[in-house]
Structure 1
Amino acid sequence: MPLNMLPQGFEELEPFQAYWGAPDTQTRRERREAATMDEIMAFYDVVLPLAPAAMKHLEDVSLDAMPPAEARLFELVLALAHVSMAVELHGAPRAPHTPYPHGVKLMNGPAHFG
């Protein structure tokens, strides 16, 4: 993905867009489960401090008419929610003591970015 695909001020997140900028919940979960903790931490450590500014930037943008750069930023913020499970709760990419791979598929997420 070419550079400058995110809104100004969020250039530091560009290297993570290709992997973590997933369009739906199922893909975000699968990518977290497939990533190493080093990959997860590299993303988490960069996106977490930028998350408040990202949310502020996005708060007046309509989900129904989100420009592409803002949509990509929003996908990264949603990915933060997924990786924070690994970092803050599980201490691993997947929940401890669960089979992997598993057959769980999220078929119908929310209308936007679901």
Structure 2
Amino acid sequence: MPTPQPLEQERYQKKQQIDNLRFGMKGIDVTAKIIEVPPIKPVITRWGSESYVTNVMIADETGSIRLSLWNKMGNKVRVGDEVELMNCYVSRFAGQPQLRLKRKSTMTVIKHLQRGE
């Protein structure tokens, strides 16, 4: 089976639902709920430095996808939070699509889950 190639610079809306996300999309915005937050783990980067990563699962009414959060970003969210992700892109990890943030991307928690909700 041929390896999927990134999307060409085709036209797609900036604001996307998870079900529409495809490998190679970039500069997209997504609003979703955090449904899983695995423990943060240390990793050695390709440059030899230590960083920390967690691959949280986010979902909207159309589907779910992993979101890679590095270093302090992983401490900003918990299960049930609603987040707005701006200027992110879709890559692939272990053969699965994954949403990633770039240096100029932002993640805003627009609703923290309150205790008892």
Instruction: Tell whether the structures are fold-level matches, with TM greater than 0.5.
Output: no
If each structure's helix is expressed as a fraction of its own residues, which one has the higher value? Answer: 1
Length-normalised TM-score, structure 1: 0.24
Length-normalised TM-score, structure 2: 0.24
